[in-house]
Structure 1
Amino acid sequence: MTDKNEQYFTAEPSSQHDYQEISFDFSGKTLFFKTDAGVFSKNRIDYGTRVLLDCVADHYSEIRSGSILDLGCGYGVVGVALKSLDPRRELTMTDVNLRSLALSKENLQRNQLDAEVLQSNIYDGLNGEFAAIVVNPPIRAGKQVVTKMLTEAREHLPSGGMIFAVLQKKQGAPSAEKNLMAAFGNVEILKRDKGYYVLRSTKQ
């Protein structure tokens, strides 16, 4: 029996499968995705992710050399899109949701791209540092989870490494801005779009 209140940040969703195919035009390319029940935004690419990706693409040249982390990758939109910008750059995609990870692997293959795909509860089990961490936090997982995703990013970045995060103003962007400032000593609002804020902090 499926729990009707099951969330997309559940490790092993029990929802009945409901596969769908969607496409996404990004930076002059059309990317293709398979989605399913039990994952975030299965019917379309959510607006916050679109805003985040457009903003990261605009600032991509400012990211230092090194691997990029798609934290909480869902079915892989952010990771696939960023990998398509530079297929030579190393990229890691993580999520707690096993169904999301299986879809991410399949969606990389669909778009003829490759990346490391790992199960991880936030930063648990992640080794090494990343040039950039890109995250659309799972607001429904609660403030504690979102805060940990943002503030503990600093421990996984080298000097000059960046975190990019998107949040809605009404769902905690001002609090996230304060938390990033406390953790990093700096924060920028790179973009405001229909209530969504893209925030960036850099490890000094």
Structure 2
Amino acid sequence: MNHEQLAELEQKLKQAHQTWLGLDARRQVLIEQLHQAEQKLNEYMDTIDVYEKARVLLQQSAEYAREQARQQMETLVTNALQYVFGPLFTFNIELEEHGSRTVAEFYVTTEYEGVRVKTKPQDSRGGGVVDIVTLALRVALMETVQPKVAGPLILDEPGKHVSNEYVYYLYEFLKSLSTMFGRQIIMVTHNHHLTESADKAYEVSIRDGISEALPVSTA
């Protein structure tokens, strides 16, 4: 090997060494970047874990609050139905998840000679049941929604489809609602039985296009 060949090999060796130094420096940079990326990934996973736990906690809290509201509504409406129509009636709310929405279905269950029948309120013994369910649900919503809705309970023709044999129990139920929740009840009705149950009553008539309200004796 002559001098020129030796010099050429030394030059190639020097270039290879420089290339190796460059690659090694690049490797060190990549190792550091990988280490930083792993740290960020771990921090991100920790954050995701915290968010997931918070989401589950909020979901469970929402489910608990929802379950509490469901039970309160079922109890109040069941009490209303039993107060008016007797002990064989119960009210049930079934909750189902549809995607991101929770759908509630309402049912009235009656028992006759040991047989339980579950129907929608509108299919159960005519409009009287619907009237009582709707009335009780309105009260339940007023009492369970947050912030709580203050003020009187205003009713338009409550129980207008309830037959006369149950009207007495209806106005007894209304009185119990007023006492239980401390709410004044203001209602418009054509039912004289309900009028007689009021503490104060007024008969409204129209004369020459002008409404006139006159007190009615409830004694």
Taking structure 1 as the reference length, what is the TM-score of the superposition? 0.32
Task: State the structure with bigger RCO (CA 8 A, min sep 6), 1 or 2.
Answer: 1
Higher helix share: 2
Give the structure-2-normalised TM-score: 0.30
- Whose radius of gyration is greater, 1 or 2? 2
